[in-house]
Amino acid sequence: MLLHLSTWQEVETYLQTSQGIIFPIGSTEQHGPTGLIGTDAICAEVISRGVGEATQAMVAPTINVGMALHHTAFPGTISLRPSTLIQVVRDYVTCLAKVGFTKFYFINGHGGNIATLKAAFSETYTHLEDLQIPNSQKVQCQVANWFMCSSVYQLAKELYGDEEGSHATPSEVAVTQYVYPEAIKQAPLSPEVPRGHKIYGAADFRHRYPDGRMGSNPALATPEHGKRFYDLAVEELSKGYLDFVKPE
C-alpha cells in the first residue's frame, strides 16, 4: 500500500490494524562510469515496495536525496547536509506520529546515510517527547540496509568476490539493471580501481577515486543477478519488518 497513492481515509483505516510504515531512503549520487546516479534510491524504493506487498505494510514516498557530500565533486550528485537530513527525518516522522504511526522502518540504500539516520532517530525521540505527542513513548525507528542483509552479502561474495568493492558495486548496479533494463549503461572500466582510502572531503574523494568506483567491477552485473538480489532482500527484510512491528 503506497502512501502517496492512498486517500486519507484509507490511511485512517490502515491505522486501525497497523501502526507500522516503511520508509525507503537512498541517495542521488555518482555511481561510477556505468552506475545510475539514482542507484541508491532506486534500490531502496523497489525493495521497499516488495516488502510492503509481502507484509501488507504502508510504504512512504522515497527520500531520494541523502547524505552524500563526499560525492559532490562529481557532476549530478545532490546531497543534504547531515543536519538537514536529520531535520527532514524528524519532520517526516513527527507528522506521521501525530496521527498514530509508531513503527518507522527505514529501508536504506546508501551507507553514507547510516550515521545520520541514527542521529536523526535520537533527535526525533526527544522532539516528540518535548511536543508531548500522545504515544510518543511508543515511537520506534529502525534502519535496515538492504545491501547488508546476510543473504545479499553472501550472494555478492559468491558472484563477485573481492570485485564487489564498496561503492558502485555490481550488486547494486545489478538491481538497477533488473528494475530499468532500458537504462543499462556501458563504458570502458580500468582494471585498476582504488580501494581502502578513508573518506574525507569531496575533492579528496575524487582525487583518490577518479572514476567514482571504490574497489568494484560493475561490469560483472546482470539483470538476472539483480532479480536474485531483489528476491533475497525482500524476503529477509520482510521478516525483519514483521519482527519489528510485532507487539512486545
Confidence of residue 128 (pLDDT cuts 50, 70, 90): very high
pLDDT, one tens digit per residue, over 172-202 is 999 999 999 999 999 999 999 999 999 999 9
* pLDDT the model gives residue 136: 92
Domain count within the chain = 1
Residue 248 has pLDDT above 90, yes or no: no
Residue 247 has pLDDT above 90, yes or no: no
Confidence of residue 213 (pLDDT cuts 50, 70, 90): very high
Residue 58 has pLDDT above 80, yes or no: yes
Torsion of CA 225, 229, 234, 236, to 10 degrees: 140
* pLDDT the model gives residue 188: 94
Domain containing 121 equals 3-245
pLDDT, one tens digit per residue, over 143-178 is 999 999 999 999 999 999 999 999 999 999 999 999
What's the CA gap between 9 and 17, in Å, rounded? 14
Q: What is the mean pLDDT of residues 202-231?
A: 98
What's the CA gap between 43 and 87, in Å, rounded? 23
Query: How is residue 165 written as a grid cell?
Result: 568493492
**What is the percent of the chain where pLDDT is above 70?**
100
What's the CA gap between 144 and 247, in Å, rounded? 19
Q: What is the mean pLDDT of residues 103-127?
A: 98
Confidence of residue 134 (pLDDT cuts 50, 70, 90): confident
* pLDDT the model gives residue 184: 98
Task: Share the mean pLDDT of the chain.
Answer: 97
Residue 142 has pLDDT above 90, yes or no: yes
Coil, helix or strand at residue 207: helix
| Domain CATH for 155 | 3.40.50.10310
* pLDDT the model gives residue 234: 98
The interaxial angle of helices 170-179 and 39-55, nearest 10 deg, is 70
